[in-house]
Amino acid sequence: MRPPPALSHFARQHFERELGERLRQWCDSHAGDGRSPLFRPRLLPEMARPLAVAALVGGPAESIAAAVAAFALAIDGTDRMDRIGFARSLLFRAGVKAADCCWWRRRRPGDPWDSGYLRHDPAAVARLDAFLPRRATFLVAQDMAAPTLRKAVVTLRHRQGLFAHPVRLLVLGTTLAAGLEPLDIIEPPGSGT
């Protein structure tokens, strides 16, 4: 993965907030509570959908890309750490690491997810064969070639039975290829929903 891009001037606050709410609802949908029984830490938490793949269709490309980047930075806590300063961000990170060790703890709405953009090179896609999320994970596949995207989706679907945390893959800016189904469709604000 690579980190989300820096925010651009194309981000619009209202659009960004409304799209972020839709994305958050999709991420949390059927994600389970993230906990294993206290005396059975190796038992995977119950999740109706360990992996979900969605496409964001329609809307202005620059605004969508900026809003998705803003959401990725919000869901992983980067924007929060930028606001609270260096010393408090160290404490925040320590708290996140401590929570990762507590397999019996329920995931809370404010808990950060990992987030990042999938790399397009074949070696990076091949590394998905060993991917196991360390916490709930939001991934973005932006402008990926159809065969590369299909390979990434097939690999993640093959591995989802091993996931202890939900993984959400959002597809942006590409012509949707066959073989991605089942696929959720997320419409941007102002598209008639």
Q: What is the mean pLDDT of residues 174-180?
A: 71
pTM for the structure as a whole: 0.89
Residue 175 has a pLDDT of 66
Q: What is the mean pLDDT of residues 140-148?
A: 91
Amino acid type, 22: R
Residue-level pLDDT at 89: 86
- In this predicted structure, the answer to whether residue 116 has a pLDDT above a threshold of 70 is yes
Q: Which long-range contacts (CB under 8 A, 24 or more apart) does 112-115 make?
A: 112/75, 112/76, 112/77, 112/80, 113/27, 113/75, 113/76, 113/137, 113/138, 114/1, 114/76, 114/138, 115/4, 115/72, 115/73, 115/75, 115/76, 115/139, 115/140
Whether the per-residue pLDDT at 5 is higher than 70: the answer is no
Single-letter amino acid code for the residue at 129: D
For residue 131, name the pLDDT band (cuts at 50, 70, 90).
very high
pLDDT of 99-110, one tens digit each? 999 999 999 988
Q: Which DSSP letter does residue 165 get?
A: S
- Choice among 23-32, 46-55, 82-91, 130-139 with the minimum mean pLDDT: 82-91
Residue 181 confidence class, pLDDT cut points 50, 70, 90 = confident
Name the band, by pLDDT with cuts 50, 70 and 90, for residue 2: low
Predicted local confidence at residue 81, as pLDDT: 85
Q: What is the pLDDT of residue 43?
A: 94
pLDDT of residue 127: 95
Confidence check: pLDDT of 51 > 90:
yes
pLDDT value for 189: 84
pLDDT confidence of residue 153? 94
Segment 63-86, tens digit of pLDDT:
888 899 999 999 998 888 888 888
The fraction of the chain above a pLDDT of 90, given in percent, is 60
163: its two tokens: 């996931």
User: Any alpha helices (H) in 35-145, and if so which ranges?
Assistant: 61-75, 78-84, 86-100, 122-127
